[in-house]
Amino acid sequence: MDFKKILFLLITISAALSNRVSHTHQKRQWNVYNKNIHKRIHSDDINTTTTVTSTTANTPIENKVKITVYYETLCPASVRFLTHQLKPVVEKLSSYLDVQLVPYGHARTYKSGDRYLFRCQHGPAECYGNKLHACAIDALQNNTQAVLFNACLMQYSYRSYRVDYISVLNWCGYKLNAPINGIWECVNSERGSIVLKNFGALTHALSPRYVPYLVFDGSLDNQARANLMSAVCRRLHPAPPSCYYYI
Ligand SMILES: *[C@@H]1O[C@H](CO)[C@@H](O)[C@H](O)[C@H]1NC(C)=O
Ligand SMILES: *[C@@H]1O[C@H](CO)[C@@H](O)[C@H](O)[C@H]1NC(C)=O
């Protein structure tokens, strides 16, 4: 079979169907189509009927970036990253992102009887902050909301002497329209320790040398710490309009 011909035919059909789409957008979509087609050609079950159907029908293309952020609550670089990079990027591109927060950093977990105890790089206050962030992730069950909520906690608690966490929780809950009862219950019960211990296990499995530590779709990206928006936009094909100034 002549696959070049099939490819040409497909591109012609796509072109005819996507007249409304802007030129750059179209070019990017073609790249994705072409990649898909190549994948199919190299796979065993070649079936032209299915190829034509899946490339010209309105099948949504999976266009999401998965980011895992390992951090600790009192580390200045982590605070800066969450409040100045991650939060604004999530606000602009939440539907293209799947962000998994792992608030633990350079901490250690100890077992005492059937309870878990922690020792953190910046002392007990950081352990408490990490647990609060862990509980927010656990209780909110929404990665986007958890990023915005934890960035809010950092913004209003970092560097303040004797933080009144209940006020900060109330304020962030009000500001982001997020339920805080579950978070407060978690942080004041053994649940909080268990959730934090689990984030610890994820962190120890990776042993990041520094924080914040970013894993993009499974691999480390050091440069993304400096410009997250452009790192995300470079991975989106087609890139949404909010990316146009960043690629
Ligand atoms: C290709 O797939 C279509 C739809 O699934 C099926 O009807 C057709 O028989 C298949 N053709 C071949 C050659 O396998
Ligand atoms: C998650 O939270 C965001 C931000 O509050 C909200 O826009 C979105 O609809 C929520 N998603 C789900 C599945 O509830």
Pocket lined around ligand 1, Cβ cut-off 6 Å: 47, 49-50
* pLDDT (mean) for 7-32: 55
Shortest CA distance to 76 belongs to which of 118, 45, 121, 35? 121
Nearest CA to ligand 1 atom 7: 49
Q: Above 60 in pLDDT, residue 145?
A: yes
- Could you tell me the distance, in angstroms and rounded to a whole number, from the CA of residue 20 to the centre of ligand 1? 31
DSSP string over 140-207 = H--HHHHHHHHHHHHHHHTT-SS--HHHHHHHHHHHHT---HHHHHHHTSHHHHHHHHHHHHHHHHH-
pLDDT at 168: 92
Residue pLDDT, tens place only, 96-140: 999 999 999 999 999 999 999 999 999 999 999 999 999 999 999
Ligand 2: residue of 145, 148, 175 to mutate (most ligand atoms within 8 A of CB) is: 145
Which ligand has its closest atom nearest to the C-alpha of 53? 1
73 CB near ligand 2 (under 6 Å): no
The percentage of the chain sitting over the pLDDT mark of 90, rounded to a whole number, equals 62
pLDDT at 135: 98
36 or 139: whose pLDDT is higher?
Answer: 139
Q: Which atom of ligand 1 is nearest to the CA of 47?
A: 1
223 CB near ligand 2 (under 6 Å): no
Nearest CA to ligand 2 atom 14: 142
pLDDT at 208: 93
Residue pLDDT, tens place only, 147-177: 999 999 999 887 665 678 889 999 999 999 9
Which ligand has its closest atom nearest to the C-alpha of 152? 2
Report residue 218's pLDDT band, with 50, 70 and 90 as the boundaries: confident
Beta carbons of 169 and 153 less than 8 angstroms apart: yes
Can you tell me whether residue 58 is helix, strand or coil?
coil
Residue pLDDT, tens place only, 54-92: 444 455 567 899 999 999 999 999 999 999 999 999 999
Q: Where are the alpha helices (DSSP H) in the chain?
A: 3-17, 23-42, 48-56, 76-81, 87-93, 124-140, 143-157, 165-176, 181-187, 190-206, 228-234
Overall pTM > 0.75: no
- Residue in this structure with the two tokens 């929404």, named with its chain if needed: 142
**Where does residue 223 rank: exposed (0-12), middle (13-18), buried (19+ CB within 10 A)?**
exposed
Nearest CA to ligand 1 atom 12: 47
pLDDT at 5: 74
Query: Please, which residues have CB within 8 angstroms of residue 152's CB and are 6 or more apart in sequence?
Result: 171, 172, 175, 176
